[in-house]
Amino acid sequence: MSESAFLSAQVISCDGTSRPLKQHELNYTCQNNEYLWLHVQCDAPDADTVLSAVTLDDGIADALCTPETRPRAMHINNGALIYLRGINRNPEADPEDMVSLRVWCQQHLVVTARRKHRRLVSVQELQDAVVAQKAPPTPNSLLLDIVTRVADKIHDTVDEIDDALVSFEEDINLDKKDRQTLAALRRQAASIRRFLAPQRDALDALFRFPQFLQQDEAFTLREQTDRITRYVEDLDLARERAVVLQDELRNRVADQQGMRMYVLSMVTAIFLPLSFLTGVFGMNVGGLPGTDSPTAFAYLMGAMGILAVIMLIAMLWRRWL
pLDDT band at 166 (very low <50, low <70, confident <90, very high): confident
Q: Is 0.85 topped by the overall pTM?
A: no
pLDDT for res 175: 62
Does 301 reside within a domain? no
Residues 283-305 pLDDT 10s = 777 677 777 778 877 877 888 88
pLDDT for res 180: 80
Does 114 reside within a domain? yes
In percent, how much of the chain has pLDDT > 70?
Answer: 97
Q: What is the CATH number of the domain that holds 179?
A: 3.30.460.20
Give the integer Cα–Cα distance in Å for 89 and 305: 69
pLDDT for res 1: 44
Distances (CA, A) of 13 to 89, 102, 141, 142, 259: 30, 23, 12, 12, 73
**Domains identified in the chain, total number:** 1
Q: Which residue has the higher pLDDT, 206 or 245?
A: 206
Domain that holds residue 177: 6-251
Cα-Cα-Cα-Cα torsion 7, 123, 95, 168, nearest 10 degrees, comes to: -160
Does 216 reside within a domain? yes
Does 57 reside within a domain? yes
Does 48 reside within a domain? yes
Residues 185-240 pLDDT 10s = 888 899 899 999 999 999 999 999 988 889 999 999 999 999 999 999 999 999 99
The least confident of 91-100, 139-148, 153-162 is: 91-100
pLDDT for res 77: 83
The string of DSSP codes covering 14-37 is TTS-EEE--GGGTTPPP-TTEEEE
